[in-house]
């Protein structure tokens, strides 16, 4: 009998621990594959410290391949799931030819996405703190604001550059505001034209106190610590809207700022949203064993799932909370349950009681509640760090991270603005005579305008062989139909001589072609004329 194939989508705490536990328990009796859009696991609670420059980004992540020995790791994006035939469709590699993957059991662990759409301008202008790239971006953004403020000539602009707003007084917001302030404090002496009193760092929380997840005394202590470090904590306040230069609060106050970090607002993952599963509060409904009802061999856990903790759950606290601690436990339990199901044994329901909670406040301080015991200050902070170290794979890695932490506390903050070069949305691409630009079945990555040379569109007929349908010379273009219309490529586009195209990225082209009325009209007419009106899609589903 062929081995069972278990496919896990998502490489966060939940997915990683499910894969690890299953591999440990099942030995070689199953094929396990984990699909993730990054090739590393992020220890998410450390993101604020990466943003503050307190640790290197490489010390907050671990390669999934290192972490998950004997698990096939696939760097890809899942675009479709066919539950009836048990097949996933992914984009990987050059991302243009969809690949299909079969499964016997499917585990959905892709978490939730940031959703700021309730607040006009926040999606466009706020920074978030969900992925490693976000932490990286925030760190660079803060340093860039200091660089610009140091040479700014207009007082109004300088003020905007030196006002930093963090929205949300939960763990993520509190840790982020603490780390941002710490980064600024440690860096200011290198910016001779900025005086400390010009810098404003504010935390905004809608409730009447911060850290609602912790007992009130710890929340109060945390607020005192933040204020002691010069952070203004505004409770009972929210944000209404934002532009690139200001934020409007719920009381109508407009705060000029270049930096708005939103740690609020989550919604379902984009793929999860499209699956047609039963949802509640933006999460997939599952039973107490984390099975998705009505779908064969489909499981869900972590932030993506709503896992009941009793048999008649009705209120929010009857379900597992979206914390790393629970995700780890859910992963382990799911891994064990998968083994049980493969062995034909009985499943066990998920049950776990929180061991406590912990929040870092920056500057080697933290607050914690562990098994009912409250801790604060340096001791809580050490506990926090030890928990992370215990999680890292391999002794040498632990030593490296530990040493880096110690060294980092002695050396000045690294204020170098290291950025990967921006990938341009347009580029010139060279093709050699005979090169294929598109093959049949591909998804368009962009829109191509011929600058030099020529191309031909070829159809392959099983009976009559290849047939050239049309050619494209300088000034002509291809790719528009499969971006603006509904189809995947039905033929092949091939260079008939050495050629150069101007390429514009898919999403940019789409926004621009839809945004500028003149272009929209041109392409509507063009597609209808060349391919018939049925090629125009209402919604761009087929090719997304």
Contact 367, 51 (CB under 8 A): no
Residue partners of 298: CB distance under 8 A and separation at least 6: 83, 105, 106, 108, 291, 292
Q: What share of the chain is helix, strand, coil (3-state, %, to 5)?
A: 35, 30, 35
Pairs from 236-239 (Cβ < 8 Å, separation ≥ 24):
236/205, 236/206, 236/207, 236/208, 237/204, 237/205, 237/206, 238/167, 238/204, 238/206, 239/119, 239/122, 239/165, 239/167, 239/204
- Contact positions with a copy of itself (CB under 8 A) in 152-191: 152-153, 157, 161, 190-191
Shortest reach from residue 136's CB to a copy of itself, in Å = 5
Q: How far is CA 438 from the centre of its chain?
A: 29
Shortest reach from residue 404's CB to a copy of itself, in Å = 7
Can residue 412 be called a binding residue for a copy of itself (CB under 8 A)? yes
Can residue 389 be called a binding residue for a copy of itself (CB under 8 A)? no
- Contact positions with a copy of itself (CB under 8 A) in 522-541: 522
- Contact positions with a copy of itself (CB under 8 A) in 126-145: 131-134, 136-137, 140, 143-144
How do beta strands 465-472 and 426-431 pair? unpaired
The residue (of 281 and 522) whose beta carbon lies closer to a copy of itself is 522
β partners of residue 246: 256
CA dihedral over 375, 381, 385, 386, signed as positive or negative: negative
Shortest reach from residue 223's CB to a copy of itself, in Å = 31
Can residue 397 be called a binding residue for a copy of itself (CB under 8 A)? yes
Contact 334, 19 (CB under 8 A): no
Shortest reach from residue 283's CB to a copy of itself, in Å = 25
- Contact positions with a copy of itself (CB under 8 A) in 49-108: 56-58, 61-63, 65-66, 72-76, 92-94, 99
The residue (of 373 and 420) whose beta carbon lies closer to a copy of itself is 420
The residue (of 111 and 219) whose beta carbon lies closer to a copy of itself is 111
Among 89, 354, 364, 414, which residue interacts with a copy of itself (rule: CB under 8 A)? 414
Shortest reach from residue 504's CB to a copy of itself, in Å = 6
Tokens of residue 217, six digits: 């005394």
Total residues at the site for a copy of itself (CB under 8 A)? 102
Among 3, 39, 378, 544, which residue interacts with a copy of itself (rule: CB under 8 A)? 39
Shortest reach from residue 205's CB to a copy of itself, in Å = 23
The beta-strand segments (E) located in 87-179 are 87-92, 99-102, 105-108, 112-114, 163-167
- Contact positions with a copy of itself (CB under 8 A) in 214-273: 241-246, 248, 254
Can residue 422 be called a binding residue for a copy of itself (CB under 8 A)? yes
CA distance 337 to 332: 9
Residue partners of 266: CB distance under 8 A and separation at least 6: 112, 113, 114, 115, 282, 303
x-or-dash pattern for a copy of itself, window 479-518, by CB under 8 A? -------------------x---x-xx-xx--xx--xxxx
- Contact positions with a copy of itself (CB under 8 A) in 278-337: none
The residue (of 251 and 419) whose beta carbon lies closer to a copy of itself is 419
CA distance 334 to 338: 6
The residue (of 221 and 472) whose beta carbon lies closer to a copy of itself is 472
Pick the stretch among 308-316, 340-348, 416-424, 455-463 that binds a copy of itself (CB under 8 A).
416-424
The residue (of 135 and 204) whose beta carbon lies closer to a copy of itself is 135
Pick the stretch among 105-113, 198-206, 358-366, 422-430 that binds a copy of itself (CB under 8 A).
422-430
Residue partners of 502: CB distance under 8 A and separation at least 6: 426, 427, 428, 429, 448, 449, 451
Pick the stretch among 146-154, 272-280, 287-295, 340-348 that binds a copy of itself (CB under 8 A).
146-154
How do beta strands 239-242 and 246-249 pair? antiparallel
What b/e sequence results for 376-385 when a residue is b if at least 16 CB atoms lie within 10 Å of its CB, and e otherwise? beeebbeebb
Shortest reach from residue 508's CB to a copy of itself, in Å = 4
DSSP state of 478: E
Can residue 424 be called a binding residue for a copy of itself (CB under 8 A)? yes
Can residue 428 be called a binding residue for a copy of itself (CB under 8 A)? yes
x-or-dash pattern for a copy of itself, window 346-385, by CB under 8 A? ----------------------------------------
């Amino acid at each position: 009998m062929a081995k069972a194939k278990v496919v896990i989508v998502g490489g966060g705490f939940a997915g990683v621990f499910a894969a690890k536990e299953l591999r440990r328990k099942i030995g070689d009796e199953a094929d396990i594959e984990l699909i993730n859009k990054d090739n590393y696991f992020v220890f998410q609670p450390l993101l604020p410290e990466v943003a503050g420059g307190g640790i290197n980004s490489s010390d907050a992540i671990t390669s999934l391949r290192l972490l998950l020995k004997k698990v096939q790791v696939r760097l890809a994006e899942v675009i479709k799931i066919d539950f009836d035939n048990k097949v996933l469709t992914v984009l990987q590699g050059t991302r243009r030819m969809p690949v299909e993957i079969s499964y016997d059991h499917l585990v959905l662990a892709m978490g939730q996405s940031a959703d700021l759409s309730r607040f006009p301008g926040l999606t466009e202008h706020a920074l978030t703190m969900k992925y490693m790239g976000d932490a990286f971006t925030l760190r660079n953004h803060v340093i860039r604001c200091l660089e610009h403020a140091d040479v700014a000539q207009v007082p109004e602009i300088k003020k905007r550059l030196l006002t930093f707003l963090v929205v949300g007084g939960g763990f993520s917001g509190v840790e982020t505001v603490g780390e941002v302030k710490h980064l600024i404090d440690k860096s200011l002496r290198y910016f001779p034209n900025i005086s400390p009193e010009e810098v404003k760092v504010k935390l905004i929380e809608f409730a009447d106190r911060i850290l609602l997840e912790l007992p009130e005394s710890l929340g109060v202590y945390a607020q005192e610590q933040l204020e002691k470090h010069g952070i203004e904590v505004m409770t009972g306040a929210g944000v209404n809207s934002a532009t690139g230069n200001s934020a409007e609060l719920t009381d109508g106050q407009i705060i000029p700022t270049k930096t708005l970090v939103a740690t609020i607002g989550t919604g379902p993952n984009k793929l999860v949203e499209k699956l047609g599963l039963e949802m509640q509060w933006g999460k997939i409904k599952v039973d107490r064993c984390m099975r998705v009802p009505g779908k064969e061999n489909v499981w869900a856990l972590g932030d993506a799932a709503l896992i009941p903790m009793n048999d008649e759950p009705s209120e929010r606290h009857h379900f597992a909370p979206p914390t790393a601690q629970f995700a780890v436990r859910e992963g382990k339990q799911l891994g064990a349950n998968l083994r049980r199901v493969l062995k034909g044994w009985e499943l066990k329901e998920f049950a776990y009681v929180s061991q406590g909670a912990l929040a870092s406040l920056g500057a080697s301080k933290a607050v914690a509640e562990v098994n009912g015991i409250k801790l604060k200050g340096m001791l809580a902070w050490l506990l926090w760090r030890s928990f992370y170290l215990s999680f890292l794979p391999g002794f040498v890695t632990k030593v490296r991270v530990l040493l880096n932490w110690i060294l980092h506390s002695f050396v000045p903050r690294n204020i170098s603005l290291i950025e990967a070069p921006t990938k341009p949305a347009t580029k010139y691409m060279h093709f050699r005579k005979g090169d294929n630009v598109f093959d049949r079945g591909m998804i368009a990555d962009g829109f191509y305008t011929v600058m030099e040379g020529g191309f031909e569109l070829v159809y392959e007929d099983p009976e009559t062989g290849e047939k050239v349908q049309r050619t494209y010379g300088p000034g002509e273009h291809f790719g528009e139909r499969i971006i603006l219309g509904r189809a995947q490529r039905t033929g092949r586009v091939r260079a008939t001589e050495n050629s150069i195209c101007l390429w514009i990225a898919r999403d940019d082209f789409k926004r621009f072609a839809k945004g500028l009325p003149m272009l929209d009209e041109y392409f509507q007419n063009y597609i209808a004329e060349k391919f018939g009106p049925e090629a125009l899609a209402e919604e761009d589903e087929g090719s997304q």
